[in-house]
Chain A
Amino acid sequence: GQQVMQIPQYQHVQEGEDFTTYCNSSTTLSNIQWYKQRPGGHPVFLIQLVKSGEVKKQKRLTFQFGEAKKNSSLHITATQTTDVGTYFCAVNAGNNRKLIWGLGTSLAVNP
């Protein structure tokens, strides 16, 4: 079945440093979604990428979708303590368009 690999599993940075998480699939994706989950909270939708080579920005967050639509990345510039949480990528699969989730990347930021 559809699988998506996400790395790294953990990332510990100093406040102000950059952060990147990557998702890869062996098959071509129709789209990919990114979510953020704060400790103790629920996943919050960040963005959906659909087009090959698409790049979208949300303030300090930059999302990319690969040309082959098999990989994606989320980059945070100059991290802040408010960025702490786990970032998940998710892809749609099946007739019910259910979400298949990456394992997530947990980001810790030292003030």
Chain B
Amino acid sequence: GAVVSQHPSRVICKSGTSVKIECRSLDFQATTMFWYRQFPKQSLMLMATSNEGSKATYEQGVEKDKFLINHASLTLSTLTVTSAHPEDSSFYICSARGRGWADTQYFGPGTRLTVL
């Protein structure tokens, strides 16, 4: 099956710093990648959708200047949390979809961000 990796798996940072999370499709070309955030005991909340080579589409209420998404290649998308604050602490998960896959997405293992 299709494999999606995320790096790092865990990160702890100080308030005010920026954190970059990478999402890679290892054995397929991901034309679309999705970024989610999940708070403890809650459902996944879609933050943004990114298509390779174009700007990400952000969901309502998600600050695009705070959560920078880059989908520069068909195998890599990055999410940068800028000037992180403790309330940004969460589980960030990406998923990826290949060309012609219709509704199928494969999820990365997630990145747990803790902002002190």
Contact = CB atoms under 8 A, between A and B. Distances in A.
Interface of B: 32, 34, 41-46, 49, 51, 57, 93, 95, 97, 102-110
A43 B49 contact: no
Contact of A99 (B34, B108, B110): B34
Given A88-B43, A103-B43, A104-B43, A97 B110 contact: no
Nearest to A102: B43
A93 to B, nearest CB: 10
Contacts of A100: 46
Interface string A34-55: 0000000111110010000000
Contacts of A96: 32, 49, 51, 57
Interface residues of A, number: 20
Contact of A44 (B32, B41, B43, B107): B107
A101 interface: yes
A101 B36 CA distance: 11
A106 interface: yes
Contact of B109 (A31, A41, A97): A41
10 contacts: A31-B103, A43-B107, A44-B107, A45-B107, A48-B104, A88-B44, A97-B102, A99-B46, A99-B95, A99-B105
